[in-house]
Chains A and B, each alone.
Chain A
Amino acid sequence: DIVVTQSPESLAVSLGETATINCKSSQSVWYSNNNKNYLAWYQQKAGQPPSLLIYWASTRESGVPDRFSGSGSGTDFTLTISSLQAEDVAVYYCQQYFDSRQFSFGQGTKLEIK
């Protein structure tokens, strides 16, 4: 099974600054046949279901502000939120969908305003 580990568990960032969240998978989620990384990012605000932000590690879902960007390849990935706004307070999760037998999520990173 692929284990996905996020860091940090929580972080506090000032408004207008940049937040960086890391995600590491226990094995590569890059598929050579299509040169794609099978990793997605979600945002979950308090009391709401998760909302898809990014898939294929760096493709923004329709309607997601371009302040949100994903990068990385293989086993190491990053979600970057630039020009942080108050509405970005949430818990962020990464998810691997490389292992078609069982998908898995990271443990989440809580983002707060400093």
Chain B
Amino acid sequence: QITLKESGPTLVKPTQTLTLTCTFSGFSLDTSGVSVAWIRQPPGKALDWLSLIYWNDEKRYSTSLKSRLTITKDTSKNQVVLTMTNMEPVDTGTYYCAYSPSEWGGSSGWYVRWGQGILVTVSS
């Protein structure tokens, strides 16, 4: 059974750096084709794709947020970490991590499992 869980601060101040951790089980980020992504959702608004990391440590970032994001993985701990610098009130929302399986030995791109999300509020 694949599970993911997000953890980190629920309240950050403007200009601070947010560090979120996704701890997962039921799969290995060493497996060819697998990836984990971060997706956020402002209150009452749409899903916003942020970043992903592949099994081979390749990384992708939202072009609009690339300068503020860093994604890393610790395979031994089954964790993926996202940092976002210079947080602003508009960054308030629920942050999800999600798992994308391999397909035909390569990457699929769709998300079959999601964590429950963590609500992050940016306020002074």
Binding site for B on A (CB under 8 A): 1, 38, 40, 42, 44, 49-52, 55, 61, 93, 95, 97-98, 100-108
Complex CA distance for A78 and B116, rounded to whole angstroms: 27
Residues on B with beta carbons closer than 8 Å to the beta carbon of A107:
46
Q: Are B110 and A95 in contact, with the CB atoms below 8 A?
A: yes
Q: Mark B50-73, 1 if CB is under 8 A from A, else 0.
A: 001000000011110000000000
Binding site for A on B (CB under 8 A): 37, 39, 46-49, 52, 60-63, 96, 98, 107-112, 114-117
Query: Closest 6 interchain pairs by CB?
Result: A97-B109, A49-B114, A40-B110, A55-B110, A105-B47, A107-B46
Q: Which of A50, A95, A103, A108 contacts B114 (CB 8 A)?
A: A50
Q: Which of A44, A52, A93, A101 contacts B60 (CB 8 A)?
A: A101
Question: What are 8 A-B pairs at a CB distance below 8 A?
Answer: A1-B63, A49-B98, A52-B112, A102-B49, A102-B61, A103-B52, A105-B39, A105-B49
Q: A49-B96, A49-B117, A100-B60 are in contact. Are A106 and B111 (CB under 8 A)?
A: no
Complex CA distance for A101 and B60, rounded to whole angstroms: 6
4 extra interface residue pairs, beta carbon distance < 8 Å, beyond A1-B63, A93-B47, A100-B60: A95-B111, A104-B49, A105-B47, A107-B46
Residues on B with beta carbons closer than 8 Å to the beta carbon of A104:
49
Q: Are B49 and A38 in contact, with the CB atoms below 8 A?
A: no
Residues on B with beta carbons closer than 8 Å to the beta carbon of A50:
47, 96, 111, 114
Residues on B with beta carbons closer than 8 Å to the beta carbon of A102:
49, 60-63
Q: Which of A40, A93, A98 contacts B46 (CB 8 A)?
A: A93
Residues on A with beta carbons closer than 8 Å to the beta carbon of B49:
95, 102-105
Residues on A with beta carbons closer than 8 Å to the beta carbon of B52:
103
Residues on A with beta carbons closer than 8 Å to the beta carbon of B48:
105
Q: Are A103 and B47 in contact, with the CB atoms below 8 A?
A: no
